[in-house]
Amino acid sequence: MGSFASRSCAEINVTTPEVKVTENFSRVVSHSAQNGGKGSSQRKFFKQYGPFLRMPNIGDIFPNFRAMTTEGEIDFYDWLGNSWGILFSHPGDFTPVCTSELGRAAQLMPEFRKRGIKIIGLSCSSVRDHEAWIPDILTYTGLQGPMPFPIISDEKRELAVGLGMLDPEFKDDKGMPMTCRALFVIGPDKKMKMSILYPALSGRNFSEILRVVDSLQLTDLKKVSTPVDWKYGEDCMIDVSVPRAYEDQLFPQGVTVKTLPSGKDYFRTTPMP
Ligand code: BEZ
């Protein structure tokens, strides 16, 4: 699929194979284009979503949007402010895996808050369905009080299409595709830092999401990388861009270089800075 980021909305031709990405996509676009491609609903659709009709890549500016949520209508950037953010989709309300996932995310809210991260869910169900489902999520987790984060209602599937979150394998009772389990981590600079895409039948691991966020936030500030299975507090790798001459200055806690058969000295570790 090509990138549309550099095209103006008017240049997007919905009949090109490039744009007709999936059956789901063309169904949603044709739904928006019932007036022969010139209707106001299509214009509105492309005005908001035209610049990002593909899944964002790492490093892309994550697009802004307006959406209805369980906490009212939001402008995504306003809602995010200068925080880190996680936007994650689920296939539908009143389904078991989704209930377990949103419950886990709600339980982990104090951990997300500690890291300065706002989180927001999304599915194509209505706000009314979200609101009726929330007591199930809270009861499942044993939490009291209001749901600690908003859930977007993307009933027209505009965000689902725009952000590449639809799963063609899973359709609702009206035959419309449901969202898969997509998750985006967005930095305070509004750039996408990380994404995952899981299918409907496989729930995500939110402890892993927190682990990656720890790595993202650390590597954003320090010249280190984090090795396989790393956890907060464990030794890190020194970023390959750091010349050996700067090691002592940048990593006063010490540097260990592992001897490897290649004889190259790239495998350098240091206590977590
Ligand atoms: C679930 O959350 O359990 C689920 C959602 C969509 C399709 C199948 C299962």
What residue ranges define each of the domains in the chain, with the CATH number in brackets? 9-204 (3.40.30.10), 222-270 (3.30.1020.10)
Q: What is the mean pLDDT of residues 75-99?
A: 97
Residue 224, φ and ψ in degrees, nearest 5: -130, 165
State the distance from the centre of ligand 1 to the C-alpha of 95, rounded, in angstroms: 5
Q: Is the pLDDT of residue 154 over 80?
A: yes
How many of the other CB atoms lie within 10 Å of CB of 136? 16
Higher model confidence: residue 154 or residue 4?
A: 154
Q: Is 175 a residue whose pLDDT tops 50?
A: yes
The three-state secondary structure class of 66 is strand
| Residue 98 is a catalytic residue | yes
Catalytic annotation, pick one of 60, 75, 93, 98 = 98
162/250: higher pLDDT: 250
Whether pLDDT at 218 is above 50 = yes
Angle at 184 between CA 178 and CA 190, to 5 degrees: 130
Tell me the C-alpha distance between 101 and 90, whole Å.
9
Four-residue CA torsion sign, 195, 196, 200, 204: negative
Residue nearest (by alpha carbon) to ligand 1 atom 4:
95
Q: What is the mean pLDDT of residues 11-27?
A: 33
Alpha-carbon torsion, ordered 72, 130, 142, 106, to 10 deg: -60
- Residue-wise pLDDT for 50-59, tens only, equals 555 678 899 9
125 has a pLDDT exceeding 80: yes
Residue 169: band (very low, low, confident or very high) from pLDDT cuts 50, 70, 90: confident
Decide if pLDDT at 199 tops 50. Answer: yes
Q: Which listed residue (75, 172, 189, 265) is catalytic?
A: 189
Over residues 147-172, the mean pLDDT reads 91
Task: For strands 151-153 and 117-123, give the pairing.
Answer: parallel
What pTM was estimated for this model as a whole?
0.83
Distance 125 CA to ligand 1 centre (A): 13
Alpha-carbon Rg for the chain, nearest whole angstrom, is 21
Ligand 1 atom at minimal distance to the Cα of residue 100: 2
Mean per-residue pLDDT of the chain = 85
Query: What is the C-alpha separation between 264 and 266, in angstroms, rounded?
Result: 6
pLDDT at 39: 55
Could you give the CA distance from residue 251 to residue 222 in angstroms, rounded to a whole number?
A: 10
Task: Check whether 47 has a pLDDT greater than 80.
Answer: no
pLDDT of residue 236 exceeding 90, the answer is yes
Q: What is the mean pLDDT of residues 119-125?
A: 97
**Lowest mean pLDDT: which of 83-92, 162-171, 239-248?**
162-171
Residue 32 has pLDDT above 80, yes or no: no
**168 CA distance to ligand 1 middle (Å):** 14
| Pocket test residue of 95, 102, 181 for ligand 1, highest count of atoms within 8 A of CB | 95
Whether 33 has a pLDDT exceeding 80, the answer reads no
What angle do the packed helices 40-49 and 23-32 form, to 10 degrees?
A: 130
CB atoms within 10 A of CB 272: 16
Residue 46 has pLDDT above 90, yes or no: no
Angle between helices 96-107 and 127-141 (to 10 degrees): 70
The reply to whether 172 belongs to the active site is no
* Paired sense of beta strands 117-123 and 84-89, if any: parallel
What integer pLDDT is reported at residue 173 of this predicted model? 86
Best mutation site among 88, 201, 202 for ligand 1, i.e. most ligand atoms within 8 A of its Cβ?
201
Residues with a CB atom less than 6 Å from ligand 1: 91-92, 95-98, 170, 200-201
* pLDDT tens-digit series, residues 221-232: 999 999 999 999
